Structure 1
Amino acid sequence: MVPWSEVTTTRAGGRHRIPWRAAGSVVVVLLALGGFGLIGASLTDAPTAPPPQPPAQANPQVGVATSPDVAQPAPVGLPRSTPSRIVIPRIDVNASIMELGTNPDGTVEVPPLDQAQLAGWYEPGASPGEVGNSVIVGHVDSAMIGPAVFYSLGALDPGDAISVVRDDGRQVDFTVDSVVSYPKTEFPTELVYGPTDQIGLRVVTCGGTFDEAANSYPDNIVVFATLAR
């Protein structure tokens, strides 16, 4: 696991340009080796009020709501389009989205800490509304601005709504299935970035109690959501 202080937060010149469906397990391996548990703040002081936390999850496979026994038809996704804004009414999020890729060491890029009010879309994956898991990440807080875009992400509950506006003018609405906290050493890479025949959304930030010695958070909060019906 790479310490937060060693993570490159600028755009990577040699990032992946192949679609997720073509990249397959290669990207999953890179993400697992590089470690995703890097979305959080590099703080000089611990925050005065810790961000909300969902229940910890010991078994990553339980992190996603299961489908009913009745077979569901494969959804028809939208054409690819870059997302421009994410709206989460329950926690008062209405934020612009920047494009992110991977750093040369295989770790996922994150928004710069001086732009911690922005969310970031993992561009090699599916766009919101396409078939597949679209991944949006963001900081929980920052020494530069304090509470950041996803400070209250852990307060979400199943059934809450998330909307993503795309550059083609369409708004894609998702429903939260589950909100789970994972130790960064047990980040569920396959559940977040892996292939699926559904239209899914994963929203990720840091979680847990701020570790002053390590100057970082020990966990990741992952919101699993599916297309609203």
Structure 2
Amino acid sequence: MISSTGGRRRGFIAPAVAVLLLLTGCGSADAPAGTSPTAPPSSSASTSAAPSAAAPTTAPGTPSPSSAPAAAPATPAEPAVLAASEPVTLSVPSIDVRTDLLSLGLRENRTLEVPPGEPGSPAGWYNQSPTPGERGPSVMLGHVNATDGGDGVFAGLRQLGAGDRIEVSRKDGSTAVFEFQRGETYMKNDFPPLEVYGNTAGSELRLITCDGYNPETGEFDDNYVVYATLVN
């Protein structure tokens, strides 16, 4: 697998549709050909300055209240995060999951590399997203089923609930511990890239798999996304 880690940042753009290509291939070792990647909208917003008010008139010799230096607006401190270190294993004790993590990059056609779909296949970390514990959303992908029809590594994600912990061991010997916040189901043709992949103030984790099996087509129509935040 490709293991390039250059160019990581707090939020990222390229894999928005590539991830969908991976997840439409649940239970298969190959992602189907299809849509080319599209970039999510920019998360930065421009602001315009408010017009300045006229200064009040004061008597000679009287200090003007506006002559004192203006206090800088308070800026909330960003949550503490960990230094960069690539993930090694993922553990979700409440659903009895422990998996090694593949490093997934982009192919030459800008689609995401695909984890194997055989029984026992591991999950994968998208290596252009932040490492788990860094500021921003670290993205991990796994199949909901396997090629033999059995469970995939992320088959139990829907069982996660409030307070459940997700642990990621890292190459530097540390463990990033995340807490489940919520799970969301998105139709694959209405997937919100900015909400899933956009910048975050602290360190967050996204676990993504397929959902919404359609027996008429034999395919999954939705994605299920777990949102978790760093607690340790």
Residue 9 of structure 2 corresponds to residue 21 of structure 1:
yes
- Structure 1: state its 5+ residue gaps: 1-10, 44-70
Residues 209 and 110 (structure 1), Cα distance of their counterparts in 2 relative to 1, 3 Å cut: same
Please identify which structure carries the higher helix content: 1
The Cα offsets for residues 101-132 of structure 1, whole Å up to 9 and x where unpaired, read as: 12233232221113653010011110011111
Residue 186 of structure 1: CA displacement? 1.6
Give matches, 1:100-119, under 5 Å. 100-114=104-118, 117-119=121-123
1:157 aligns with 2:141: no
Higher CA-based Rg: 2
Equivalent position to 1:222, from 218, 225, 231: 225
Identity %: 36
Measured after TM superposition, the shift of residue 87 of structure 1 is 0.8
Choose the corresponding residue for 1:205, options 205, 209, 213: 209
- C-alpha contact 1:42 1:216 (8 A) present in aligned 2: no
Worse-matched range after superposition: 172-181 or 106-115: 106-115
Amino acid at match of 2:7: P
CA distance in structure 2 between the aligned counterparts of 1:186 and 1:171, rounded to whole angstroms: 34
189-198 or 77-86, which deviates more: 189-198
Indicate conservation of the 8 Å contact 2:119/2:147, yes or no: no
| Count, aligned residues | 186
Question: What does residue range 169-208 of structure 1 map to in structure 2 within 5 Å?
Answer: 169-208=173-212
Please tell me the residue identity of whatever aligns with 2:222: D
The match for 2:41 is: none
Per-residue deviation at 1:17?
4.8
SS at match of 1:21: coil
Q: CA RMSD in A?
A: 2.6
- In the superposition, the TM-score normalised over structure 2's length comes to 0.71
Q: TM-score, normalised by structure 1?
A: 0.72
Q: Which protein has greater RCO, CA pairs closer than 8 Å, 6+ apart?
A: 1
The one of 137, 140, 153 equivalent to 1:136 is 140
